[in-house]
Structure 1
Amino acid sequence: MAISPQLPEHSRVLATESKLPFHVLSDQGNVVAESFGVVITLPQRLARVYAKVFNIDIPAYNGDNSWTLPMPSRFIVDQQRIIRAVDVNLDHTVRPEPASAISLINKLGKE
C-alpha cells in the first residue's frame, strides 16, 4: 500500500492512470507522516518553483495551505505492528530497490 497526503480524488486518478497494483490511502494533513517524523515544509522559494514552473499546486492537491510533503519513505511493519525496516531519503529521486523489501518480507514470513 502507499500513503499520500493528496485528497482521495487525486490519489484515485494517479492510481488509475499509473495502473498501480496496490491501494493508495489518503493521509490528509500529513497526520500519519508527521507521526513518523517524515514531513518537510517546502521553503517559500521552492514552493514558488512548484507553483509557477511545474504548475503543481500542492495545497490544492492536498486540501490544505501547508506546502508540506512527506519525504519518500518505506516502512516494513510486521503483524505485531513492529517496524522492522525503514528507508527515508530527502532526495525524492533516490528510492530503495523493491527487491530488498521483498527479501525482508519473505524473511519475516519465515520467522
Structure 2
Amino acid sequence: MPSERGGPDRTDDGRYVIVHGRRWRATDPDIPEDAAAALRSHLMAARRAVREAKRTEDAVALRRAREKVHRAKVALGERGEPWWEQPAPARARRWRDGLAWFDRPNGS
C-alpha cells in the first residue's frame, strides 16, 4: 500500500514499511510528530557515530553508538515489543522514556 505521506510503502495494516522489497517495522504512529522528529534526529546522529567508530576502529565508541541506535529504535517502536500489542499508556511511556534517556546528561 503506498504511503500517504510520501514515504516508503506500508503493509495494509500499517505495521511495516517496505524498502527495496524488505519489510521493516514501522514507527509507532501515535508518537507526536515533534517527539518522533527528535528521536529520528538522535537515531541519525547515532548512525553517524557508528560509521565514525567503524572508520576509526574504536570498539568502545562503536558499542556506545550501537546502544544509542538501539535505544532510539526502541523508543520509536521499531524494536522491542511491537507497538500494536502495547496499551496506549505503555506506548507513550516508551517514547517518553527514550527521549528522557537522550536528554539526560551523558545519555547522548
Q: TM-score, normalised by structure 2?
A: 0.31
Larger Rg: 1
More helix by share: 2
Q: TM-score, normalised by structure 1?
A: 0.31
More strand by share: 1
